[in-house]
Amino acid sequence: MSNETENMKTDTPANDTERSASGPDAPRTPEEVMQAATARIAELEAELGDMKDRWMRSEAENANVRARAHREVNETRQYAVQKFAQDVVEAAENLRRGLESLPPAANGEPEIIARLREGLDGIERNFLNILDRNGIKRDDPTGAPFDPNVHQAMAEQESAAHAPGSVMHAWTPVWTLNGRLLRPAMVVVAKAPPAEIGSASTGIFGAAKLNTTA
């Protein structure tokens, strides 16, 4: 009886070892160990590459967000005074109308008129310099090709002295704020006389024929 018990005790560890060594996940040879290690390394490298790609995409998106926010802040700073600038431009145009309402300089004119004209001219120059330093610019479009983006055509007039489609007279200038249009110029656009273009010409106003003079 004791011999049988000893034999059972002796056989049990051997059987456990055999079962442990023959488990489904346990590599049996050095080659299998290397293959398992290589597969695991490849898996980790794939995970690392995926994480690196996600990080790079996230960094690129963050850079775009920062650039967009910076651009929006700059635009807000530049154009926050747009409504005020439009009112200031109106004041500048009223000053110009006041100057144009004075009679032309002439010999023997009253001294008070000459001094008034000189004073208003100086005020306008200083005013325009202040506007220019703050990004508000005035541009006279006379002689330039008609551009619907910055010109508002008020009339079209036949002219042999001006190129067809050019601005022959500007009632008001173009005003811009840091390159952005504040107020378009109101202009008269030249068109060729009928003798040059024929009676079928319609000009920029389509079929309407305007006889308005500048």
**C-alpha to C-alpha distance for 15 and 29, rounded to whole angstroms:** 20
pLDDT tens for each residue of 39-93: 889 899 999 988 998 899 888 888 898 888 888 887 777 677 888 898 999 999 9
> Within 22-161, where are the H helices?
30-79, 82-101, 111-133
**C-alpha to C-alpha distance for 198 and 85, rounded to whole angstroms:** 45
CA angle 191, 192, 193 (to 5 degrees): 120
pLDDT tens for each residue of 4-50: 545 444 444 444 444 444 455 555 688 888 888 888 898 999 999 88
